[in-house]
Amino acid sequence: MAVTVISLVVAFLYGGPQALFLCVILGILEVSLSFDNAVINATVLRRMSEFWQRIFLTVGILIAVFGMRLVFPLAIVWIASGLGPIAALDLALNPPPDGAAYFPNGDPSYETLITDAHPQIAAFGGMFLLMLFLHFILEDREIKWLEWLERPLAKAGKLEQLEVVVATALLLITATVIAPDDKVSTVMIAGALGMITYIAVNGLGEMFHVPEEGEEPEGGPSGLAKATGKAGFFLFLYLEVLDASFSFDGVIGAFAITSDPIIIALGLGFIGAMFVRSITIFLVRKGTLSDYVYLEHGAHWAIGALALILLYSIGTHVPEVITGLVGVALIGAALGSSIYRNRKIAAREGEDAVKTSIP
């Protein structure tokens, strides 16, 4: 809350009431789009030591704000336009006075360059998130939310590398059917890099796997030693890549509201990303995922929906409100199912207690 207040004050001093209003809108946009991100982050964060949790909330927020919400858009402009860092920042802070997409000399504006880079950004982020979703949903788990669907998917998941096969097929469909003709190769390369990044980062995390509660640690250092050493580092790295993938749609969507990088950094980063990380820490410390067991399932289904939306948006614009509502609806349904399950278990335990108390 303190960071939010400071950010809003800075926004007001920077651009007056209009900047303040835009900052609030961007903060709400980021939280609505990234609530599923908070749930997924919590499933990983609870395996990390308190030290690495603090690193995620401090160093991680700096990466999220300055890396993804400020440097990332500028880097796109550097690469796409050939401008230097200072010139790219000047282009961002000084858009065409009439709001045109191009300057009088024919050079594209900052916003135009970012928008033009959407296909490769969406392909990378969409494939990374799709691999995450498929890895979860194709694994046989003791607790299932949508049993009628998750059970057959878990059986199909026994086929080795099925997630890679499905993801590759969807990437081919996206590149050949959805993507514009001049972006086919770009989408294929970006999508392949998204898959490679997931496989590499997830593989490193599995290599230094930290046993969860109820699991017996295998040979080698203790779970605590791994959590605070290499495992903590690679889980932190995994979370940052995951956060970046979730951030792509928010960063691109922000340019439909404003192209000012300072306002985007304040709204999406300092307000939105800080709220998402605070929600993540809250879920971990309150044991919410253990109490509401279907939340993790709902978040992964929301990730699958977001991945498909990102891939579809390569050819057709999808309003950000749809992306946000889909995620909120799936997580809300999972929360409702968890509450219903807890009540059934409590009622059953109450009946058993009554039966045992009767002589």
* Model pLDDT, residue 129: 87
Model pTM score: 0.75
- Mean pLDDT of the 299-321 span: 86
- pLDDT by residue (tens digit) across 311-337? 998 988 887 778 778 888 888 899 899
Four-CA torsion 209, 191, 70, 205, nearest 10 degrees: 0
Query: Identity (one letter) of the amino acid at 117?
Result: A
Question: What pLDDT, on a 0 to 100 scale, did the predictor assign at position 354?
Answer: 62
Asked whether 288 and 282 are in contact (CB, 8 A), the reply is yes
What is the share, in percent, of the chain residues with pLDDT greater than 90?
A: 13
Phi-psi region of 71 (alpha: psi -120 to 50; beta: other; left: phi over 0): alpha
Of the candidates 189, 157, 160, the one whose C-alpha atom is nearest the C-alpha of residue 172 is 189
Q: In percent, how much of the chain has pLDDT > 70? A: 78
Q: In the predicted model, is pLDDT for residue 107 greater than 60?
A: no
DSSP character string of 129-187: HHHHHHHHHTS--SS-SSHHHHHHHHHHTTSTTHHHHHHHHHHHHIIIIIS-GGGHHHH
Asked which of 14-18, 143-147, 234-238, 339-343 is least confident by mean pLDDT, the reply is 234-238
- At residue 113, the pLDDT reads 73
What whole-number distance in Å separates Cα of residue 288 and Cα of residue 135? Answer: 23
Contact in structure between 21 and 265 (CB atoms under 8 Å): no
For residues 245-270, give the mean pLDDT: 75
Q: What is the pLDDT of residue 287?
A: 81
At 228, is the pLDDT very low, low, confident or very high (cuts 50, 70, 90)?
A: low
